[in-house]
């Protein structure tokens, strides 16, 4: 049994989040632009012939990293204001993505399709494994080969080149988001029509289709499992001004935070359909969710029922909310089974939740969670971005003080998470 008083007197250390739990969240929170859409649109801008303005861009570390990738290739990317970036592609664009950024951020692989289409070649440091499981790019490469490209993998690099790309019929073994996007990009200037079957259906894919079509591409079908890209000879020369959709994962994180604390929170700037898998699961758990246009109200009395969750590609329950819902179910009444079907090793954070008093057993791709009445504050470390969010959620519900290290992960993907939570009444602060 942990003495929570003693926990609360722990010395305040640097670069950590400190949360004193059990304060219900109340109020209104504005959701930022979608990280996973913005990063892909920035890569897509490599195909443009004129300036691209992207609005509603979240000011997070992954966006800064993508700016590094683009500028390292020879583009000029600048912040126009707090949430708008301007990307200008100049002559002499490089084909080798800068190693340091590729190592830092996996989304860097999304420059492959646009560079292959534009320059006929691309070289990239082979992205390795990752804390949330193996994340190969074989489906991306198979797609490029189907379009007529040659793939050379040596000395830790992937080199893809093509004198000419030709439209093809491509069936993905798994509806990979990254592979769908990269193949779609590569096919835009190919000769003839490309059809991607078993394509990913995520809203971010629709964003990318819309963005490319503004540049002059001819893509149809994003959001369904069949995407058709009619190759065009060249893209237009107009400036593009594009506003990114809200971040469904940030929205989901706040929905779960409101639910676990027995709060009453209105999210502004959400697309309710994008969070439907979570909303219906939260209703099953006992939370009230009301959608009104681009607002979503989440009301919870804190009495949560256990529920089973199966993670699947969109429109299934998103892998990027799996750690957060697991934290919630750790204090629900009964036993829940969470099954992860997208990334193999996405349960590493469970040990940290156990440190906070959760009762969880991981068996292969499933976590069996026996709900406890209370979590207890502890000193924990975020092993990755969404796991970090799960620990914050657990800390909001826990007795006493929770200290979270590993903020570099949270900062990759959330805009001022602690400030937004504090404005809702959480007792949370960053100690720097």
Active site positions, annotated: 130
**Minimum CB–partner distance for residue 395 and ligand UD1 (Å):** 22
**What gap in Å lies between CA 48 and CA 215, rounded to an integer?**
6
**Minimum CB–partner distance for residue 85 and ligand UD1 (Å):** 20
Residue 153 in contact with ligand UD1, rule: CB under 6 A: no
What's phi and psi for 368, nearest 5 deg?
-105, 115
Options 133-141, 226-234, 329-337, 389-397: segment touching ligand UD1 (CB under 6 A) = 133-141
**What gap in Å lies between CA 171 and CA 142, rounded to an integer?**
10
Residue 409 in contact with ligand UD1, rule: CB under 6 A: no
**What gap in Å lies between CA 231 and CA 178, rounded to an integer?**
20
Q: CA of 419: how far to CAs of 30, 264, 315, 423, in Å?
A: 12, 17, 30, 6
- The β-bridge relationship of strands 121-125 and 84-88 is unpaired
**On the CB side of 415, how many CA atoms lie within 13 Å of its CA?**
20
Q: Which two tokens stand for residue 373?
A: 């009445």
**35-44 vs 177-187: helix axis angle to the nearest 10?**
20
Q: Is 128 helix (H, G, I), strand (E, B) or coil?
A: coil
**Minimum CB–partner distance for residue 137 and ligand UD1 (Å):** 5
Of the candidates 95, 144, 211, 343, which one interacts with ligand UD1 according to CB under 6 A?
343
Contacting ligand UD1 within 18-37 (CB under 6 A): 36
- Work out the angle at residue 48's Cα, subtended by the Cα atoms of residues 184 and 111, and round it to the nearest 5 degrees: 50
Residue 136 in contact with ligand UD1, rule: CB under 6 A: yes
- The β-bridge relationship of strands 309-311 and 335-340 is parallel
Options 138-146, 207-215, 227-235, 237-245: segment touching ligand UD1 (CB under 6 A) = 138-146
Interface map 290-329 toward ligand UD1 (x if CB under 6 A): -----------------------x----xxx---------
CB nearer ligand UD1, residue 181 or residue 399: 181
**Minimum CB–partner distance for residue 141 and ligand UD1 (Å):** 7
Interface map 167-206 toward ligand UD1 (x if CB under 6 A): -------x-xxxx--------------------x-x----
**Minimum CB–partner distance for residue 15 and ligand UD1 (Å):** 24
Residue 42 in contact with ligand UD1, rule: CB under 6 A: no
Residue 342 in contact with ligand UD1, rule: CB under 6 A: yes
Q: Which two tokens stand for residue 344?
A: 């193999």
**Minimum CB–partner distance for residue 355 and ligand UD1 (Å):** 24
* Count of other CB atoms within 10 angstroms of residue 387: 29
The helix or strand, by DSSP H or E, that contains position 70, with its residue range, turns out to be helix 61-73
Residues in contact with ligand UD1 by CB under 6 A are 36, 134-140, 174, 176-179, 200, 202, 313, 318-320, 342-343
């Amino acid at each position: 049994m942990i003495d929570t008083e003693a926990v609360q007197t722990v010395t305040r250390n640097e670069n950590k989040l400190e949360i004193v739990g059990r304060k219900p969240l109340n109020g209104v929170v504005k959701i930022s632009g979608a990280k996973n859409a913005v990063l892909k649109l920035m890569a897509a801008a490599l195909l443009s012939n004129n300036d691209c303005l992207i609005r509603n861009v979240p000011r997070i570390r992954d966006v800064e990293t993508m700016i590094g990738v683009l500028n390292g290739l020879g583009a000029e990317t600048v912040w126009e204001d707090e949430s708008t970036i301007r990307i200008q592609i100049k002559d002499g664009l490089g084909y080798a993505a800068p190693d340091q950024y590729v190592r830092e951020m996996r989304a860097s692989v999304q420059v492959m399709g646009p560079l292959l289409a534009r320059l006929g070649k691309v070289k990239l440091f082979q992205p390795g494994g990752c804390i949330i499981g193996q994340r190969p790019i074989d489906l991306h490469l198979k797609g490029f080969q189907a379009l007529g490209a040659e793939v050379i993998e040596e000395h830790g690099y992937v080199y893809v080149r093509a004198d000419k790309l030709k439209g093809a019929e491509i069936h993905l073994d798994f509806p990979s988001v990254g592979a769908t996007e990269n193949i779609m990009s590569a096919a835009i200037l190919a000769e003839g029509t490309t059809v991607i079957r078993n394509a990913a259906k995520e809203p971010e894919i629709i964003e990318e289709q819309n963005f490319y079509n503004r540049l002059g591409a001819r893509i149809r079908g994003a959001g369904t499992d069949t995407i058709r890209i009619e190759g065009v000879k060249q893209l237009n020369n107009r400036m593009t001004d594009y506003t990114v959709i809200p971040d469904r994962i940030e929205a989901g994180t706040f929905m779960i935070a409101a639910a676990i604390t027995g709060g009453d929170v209105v999210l502004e700037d959400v697309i309710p359909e994008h969070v439907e898998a979570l909303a219906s699961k939260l209703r099953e758990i006992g939370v009230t969710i009301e959608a009104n246009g681009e607002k979503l109200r989440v009301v919870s009395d804190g009495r949560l029922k256990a529920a089973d969750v199966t993670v699947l590609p969109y429109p299934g329950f998103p892998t990027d909310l799996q750690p957060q819902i697991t934290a919630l179910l750790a204090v629900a009444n009964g036993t829940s089974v969470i099954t992860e079907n997208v990334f193999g090793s996405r349960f590493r954070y469970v040990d940290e939740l156990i440190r906070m008093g959760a009762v969880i057993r991981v068996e292969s791709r499933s976590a069996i969670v026996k709900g406890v009445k209370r979590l207890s504050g502890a000193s924990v470390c975020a092993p990755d971005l969404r796991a970090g969010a799960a620990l914050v959620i657990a800390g909001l519900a826990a007795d006493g003080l929770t200290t979270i290290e590993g903020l570099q992960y949270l900062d990759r993907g959330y805009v001022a998470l602690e400030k937004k939570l504090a404005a809702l009444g959480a007792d949370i602060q960053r100690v720097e």
